[in-house]
């Protein structure tokens, strides 16, 4: 097996690719690593794919994968992970803001210190304040929700054990949350390394402020899916119980007050004339619906449950 696979998603980076690949070659050859470079073209509209074909044609270490349209960074990483053969898989961005000089340090943390995953931390960034301030807030919220103490979840420079990338699946915009997904799959030894951040030399950034809005929505989504995918009734059933009991208690209170008022000859409003009654009715209906949703989700989960959903770390004395 190769020592290192370098997986690089590419979107409209034709200017930087030759210099980046040359830089990676220089660093890894100098240190005697066996490696491959996987360039995944995510539907670029410039000449990136032609550059990748030219680089791959000159050197068999460079491999190219091209999408017919733009699917996003997560899709590019996911397909790159599936093709990677290296014992350690390193990801980096194609804009040359991630330094290949950091690869050796990340590799050693995986191999010598036994980390499942090591994430880069761009402690000093060469980005405008419109990116750095939202990024700090985004990382703080992600740390709070996930419980994983990383400073820079969105850093493109990361290293993984090969078995980690083979046992996770990312889609949409989930690349920001690979440490969370890996942790929920049982790969909880996650480290962090301060890495250098280079000023952008070519092109312009491909990300706007909308990525932070989408990022929080994705965080909610990935948290829900990973926590309740196997037992959705725990989520829907809990909410259903709270809603149904709230409606039942309010209804019981209104009926009790009506009966007590009639027993004592007091003038009492009709139950159906009180706004609280309709709130209770809605709570009862919503509670039943949440219960039914939970049952249906449990049935779907049961029917779709497969052995492949479970990650096996080792096998002993088993024959194929």
pLDDT at site 205: 62
pLDDT digit string (tens) for 65-115? 999 999 889 899 999 999 999 999 999 999 888 999 999 999 999 999 999
pLDDT digit string (tens) for 255-264? 988 888 888 8
* From 76-85, 154-163, 210-219, the region with the lowest mean pLDDT: 210-219
Strands (E) located in 32-134: 35-41, 62-66, 88-91, 117-121
Provide mean pLDDT across the span 155-178.
89
CB 80 within 8 A of CB 38: yes
DSSP 116-166: SEEEEE-SS--S-HHHHHHHHHHHHHHHHHH----S-TT-S-EEEEHHHHH
Task: Please state, in angstroms and rounded to a whole number, the distance separating the CA atoms of residues 173 and 48.
Answer: 22
Name the residue with tokens 């990116």. Answer: 131
Task: Please state, in angstroms and rounded to a whole number, the distance separating the CA atoms of residues 286 and 278.
Answer: 12
pLDDT band at 307; cut points 50, 70, 90: very low
Strands (E) located in the chain: 4-10, 35-41, 62-66, 88-91, 117-121, 158-161, 190-194
| 3-class DSSP state of 256 | helix
pLDDT band at 63; cut points 50, 70, 90: very high
Task: Please state, in angstroms and rounded to a whole number, the distance separating the CA atoms of residues 156 and 145.
Answer: 21
């Amino acid at each position: 097996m190769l020592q290192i696979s370098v997986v690089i998603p590419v979107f409209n980076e034709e200017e930087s690719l030759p210099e980046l690949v040359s830089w990676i070659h220089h660093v890894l050859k100098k240190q005697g690593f066996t490696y491959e470079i996987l360039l995944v073209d995510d539907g670029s509209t410039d000449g990136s794919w032609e550059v990748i074909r030219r680089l791959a044609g000159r050197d068999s270490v460079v491999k190219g994968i091209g999408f017919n349209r733009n699917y996003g960074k997560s899709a590019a990483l996911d397909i790159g992970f599936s093709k990677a053969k290296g014992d350690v898989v390193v990801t980096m961005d194609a804009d040359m803001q991630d330094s290949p000089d950091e690869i050796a340090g990340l590799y050693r943390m995986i191999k010598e210190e036994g980390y499942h995953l090591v994430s880069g931390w761009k402690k000093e960034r060469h980005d405008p304040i419109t990116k750095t301030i939202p990024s700090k807030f985004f990382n703080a919220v992600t740390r709070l929700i996930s419980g994983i103490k990383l400073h820079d979840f969105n850093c493109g420079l990361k290293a993984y054990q090969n078995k980690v990338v083979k046992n996770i699946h990312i889609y949409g915009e989930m690349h920001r949350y690979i440490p969370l997904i890996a942790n929920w799959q049982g790969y909880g030894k996650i480290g962090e390394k301060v890495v250098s951040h280079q000023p952008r030399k070519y092109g312009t950034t491909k990300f706007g402020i909308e990525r932070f809005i989408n990022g929080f929505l994705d965080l909610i989504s990935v948290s829900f899916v990973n926590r309740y995918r196997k037992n959705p009734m725990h989520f829907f059933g809990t909410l259903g119980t709270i809603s149904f009991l709230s409606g039942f208690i309010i209804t019981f209170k209104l009926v009790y007050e009506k009966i007590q008022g009639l027993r004592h000859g007091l003038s009492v409003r009709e139950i159906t004339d009180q706004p609280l009654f309709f709130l209770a009715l809605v709570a009862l209906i919503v509670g039943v619906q949440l219960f039914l949703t939970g049952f249906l989700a449990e049935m779907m989960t049961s029917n779709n449950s497969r052995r492949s959903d479970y990650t096996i770390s080792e096998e002993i004395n088993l024959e194929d």
